[in-house]
A and B are shown apart, each in its own frame.
Chain A
């Protein structure tokens, strides 16, 4: 299939001229520039390799043309362009917030009380340059590695702005932090990177969202999320992808959880023209736990693809993944999930489930769970369902006075409710509920 074949550089559209122009504009330490050059070499080599067919064979990239997108050297926002609308920022009290516009950090704030505890929060490139000895060991070397595939290498060469959160040992940040990745201009390529490091016994919550200011501006996001959770640490991370439907979204996302640490990770896919997310959860220490929640709602001709892996590397680890997808119109969702248990992963408790609800005959969903188990004393269960709205449920609602539309809507909201119930952050639950209603076409009438 052509979508997984190797790509020539011409078609890839990001050649040496683009790379040279990109790094010429960056004032970065030598180690960072060297790493970019090395990654760019890898990128060129990886273009000749096939993408992993297991991961990519259902994702059709034939009409994707990277040459239409370029990173912007000019910092910040063009004057007169409206800012992207955020769903989360004004909904709660935050301990800090950061906003990226077209691949550049436009705004950053952290309350002094939190900063005084040694927490670092802000622009990734700036903080990496300021604290290389402390932060560099975590950057693209533990969770996501540049050489994984052409997208990770592409990102490692061109990563633009990003959000860094570092919480020192034993520090508990009570208030959530907010991060916004936004596009305002047509043709922008952003390579945003999110790196969260929780040292042992630290706690924090980061709510991140992506948004487009202009519903018609085409955009490209080649992102990376790295979550490093220390021993007995607890991280709650939400990424709400809400690009316009002209945006391509590719991301490598990985969370590493050390002994007795816990990660609660919520992935929301509402926007984009085509999105592909490679999500790895690595349970690296004994009794590490991860709960992964997925909320996806596609419409029109959107395509969203997930490739998830729950990797149990140590004894007594637990992972629990629940993805829920609702599909309208001609949209398509692909979920390929895998639970992997290493020989050392005895007494693993692994669970994965994907439920899809189709609201139209022309929507399509592929859900493919999988297990790869090399230990002999584990409990791993998986499941996937796809179906249409149950006619008996609709009739039951209608017999109580709900219109057909309202019945459909309440059933869809109920379908998502089962995953909202697992999200421990009220503002996220409320925002999702409201946003889903919006996408269903329910507008509150005053």
Chain B
């Protein structure tokens, strides 16, 4: 039976400011969903809220995986249930080697009951696995010994997110503008990497402004977010249309949401 990630009437605030105002999406393992929308529409907020960032408060609605309500769970519990967020801005953790970090991560994900101090995945098995995955992503094995994201270029950081996804094999992956800020070669590597990883075992939500990632990973569903709501859902052709023509017609079709979006954008444009 394939798993389902169900987002129902999700309301999320940051501080006192409501950002998401009732989001509904259902993602099954094996499906690819694209999430598009102008700046300030709430796409990254949805990504952080799904991953369980403590600054993003769910004020109403729910997030469920196979009927289990994860809305109140901490980020690590969600990760152990198969949730993965590829960060738009991956965090630097000085002094922590990529390999050590991933060995801890993978030990927890594969053994969700694991407590700190309990055994880690065998070193041999782990090394073999990380080498294979790095090879597939065209990464220099030396990266495993570097400190996590420390001194990495933008492309290296994004590739590192994809490597982590490849290692952790989540049931649901959210990619928050994984293709932004990359040159076309890097976008191709990331796109191909995702295409290789996604399959019947993974449900994917791709947040993007660009078309390339979706070319390699054609979505079955395209959602358009505006003013903290999903205002339209279509197939891959909707994504294509938005890339070609922008959001003007969407705004026209949804004037109320467009007005809310404009208000949300304001603080950042001052």
Contact = CB atoms under 8 A, between A and B. Distances in A.
Co-assembled chains A and B: yes
Interface of A: 390-393, 395-407, 409-411, 413-418, 421, 442-445
A325 to B, nearest CB: 14
A398 B93 contact: no
A396 to B, nearest CB: 4
A401 B93 contact: no
Contacts of A396: 87, 90-91, 93
A446 to B, nearest CB: 8
Contact of A410 (B74, B101, B109): B101
Contacts of B104: 400-402, 406, 410
Nearest to B96: A414
Given A401-B80, A415-B95, 18 more contacts: A390-B91, A391-B54, A395-B53, A396-B91, A398-B74, A398-B76, A400-B168, A402-B108, A406-B104, A406-B108, A411-B93, A414-B93, A414-B94, A414-B147, A416-B95, A418-B94, A445-B117, A445-B119
B168 A417 contact: no
A411 B109 CA distance: 19
Interface in B160-176: 164, 168
Contacts, number: 97
B52 A400 contact: no
Interface residues of B, number: 37
Nearest to B53: A395
B188 to A, nearest CB: 26
B52 A399 contact: yes
A413 B148 CA distance: 13
Given A399-B51, A399-B75, A401-B80, A413 B96 contact: yes
Given A398-B79, A401-B105, A402-B105, A442 B116 contact: yes
B108 A401 contact: yes
Contacts of B92: 393
Contacts of A403: 76, 108, 115-116
B118 interface: yes
Nearest to B51: A399
B85 interface: yes
Contact of B95 (A390, A404, A417, A442): A417
13 contacts: A391-B54, A393-B91, A399-B78, A400-B164, A401-B105, A402-B76, A403-B115, A410-B96, A414-B93, A414-B94, A414-B96, A418-B94, A442-B117
Interface string B139-150: 000000001000
Given A401-B168, A402-B104, A411 B74 contact: no
B159 to A, nearest CB: 16
A391 B91 CA distance: 10
A90 B78 CA distance: 43
A400 B79 contact: yes
| Centre residue among B52, B104, B106, B108 by max chain A CB count within 10 A | B104
Interface string B55-86: 00000000000000000001110111000110
Contacts of A417: 94-96, 147
A401 B109 contact: yes
Nearest to A410: B96
B96 A445 contact: no
Contact of A392 (B78, B91, B106, B164): B91
B93 A393 contact: yes
Contacts of B87: 396, 399
B145 to A, nearest CB: 12
Looking at B53, B105, B117, which has the most chain A CB atoms within 10 Å of its CB? B117
A170 to B, nearest CB: 37
Q: Which residue, A400, A413, A442, A443, has most C-beta atoms of chain B within 10 A?
A: A400
Most buried by A among B76, B117, B118, B147: B76
Contacts of A414: 93-96, 147
Nearest to B167: A400
A401 B76 contact: yes
A68 to B, nearest CB: 39
A255 B84 CA distance: 52
A437 to B, nearest CB: 9
A418 B79 contact: no
Given A398-B76, A400-B164, A404-B74, A445 B118 contact: yes
Nearest to B108: A401
Contacts of B106: 401
In the complex, which of the residues B52, B108, B164 has the most CB atoms of chain A within 10 Å of its own CB atom? B108
Given A398-B76, A401-B79, A445-B119, A418 B105 contact: no
B96 to A, nearest CB: 4
Contacts of B100: 410
A98 to B, nearest CB: 34
Centre residue among A391, A414, A415 by max chain B CB count within 10 A: A414
A171 to B, nearest CB: 36
A396 B76 CA distance: 9
Contacts of B78: 399
Nearest to A416: B95
A392 B90 CA distance: 10
Nearest to B94: A414
B168 A395 contact: no
Contacts of A402: 76, 104-105, 108
B75 A411 contact: no
B107 to A, nearest CB: 8
A275 B216 CA distance: 62
Contacts of B119: 445
A443 B101 CA distance: 18
A404 B76 contact: yes
A413 B95 contact: yes
A400 B101 contact: yes
A402 B93 CA distance: 14
A442 B119 CA distance: 12
